[in-house]
Amino acid sequence: MLNSADPDAPNGVDIARTIAKRFDLDWEEVLLDGPPIGNVGRHAWDRYPPVVLDTSAAHALGYSPVGNYAATVGEEIDWLVKAATSPASSVNPAEKDAFFAGLFDYAAEDRLVLQG
């Protein structure tokens, strides 16, 4: 078994920017200094310590990535948006899976940002 991973290991901000670019979205980012405060600042890819995969064995066998995260994730993003906007997905993601519980507390985010 060999590890498979994006060659560039994007962080949460990189992922958000890639998705925004895919849909030609523009917004003002409010980046917080320091670690998350409660669930504000956390996201589904947030891990400490970070998960790091060693792909050197795959490369030694001749593996060559077809592109970085931004270049290869487009079809998956389209599929996720289609799935999320289908009538079958009318339930809040936090209600579908405990993994996502607390990651959609937009009121807490607004309070933190507005406090300055």
Is the pLDDT at 22 greater than 90? The verdict is yes
Cβ-based neighbours of 97, under 8 Å, separated by 6 or more: none
Residue ranges covered by each domain of the chain: 12-115
Residue 75 is predicted with a pLDDT of: 93
In DSSP notation, the chain reads ------SS---HHHHHHHHHHHTT------PPSSS-BTTBT--TT--SSPP----HHHHHTT---S--HHHH-HHHHHHHHHHHTSGGG-S-HHHH-GGGTTTT-HHHHHHHHHH-
Residue 57 is predicted with a pLDDT of: 93
Residue 17 is predicted with a pLDDT of: 94
Give residue 109's identity as a one-letter amino acid code: E
Question: Tens digits of per-residue pLDDT, 34-71?
Answer: 888 888 888 777 777 878 889 999 999 999 999 999 99
Would you say 66 and 72 are in contact if contact means Cβ atoms under 8 Å apart?
A: yes
Residue 91 is predicted with a pLDDT of: 55
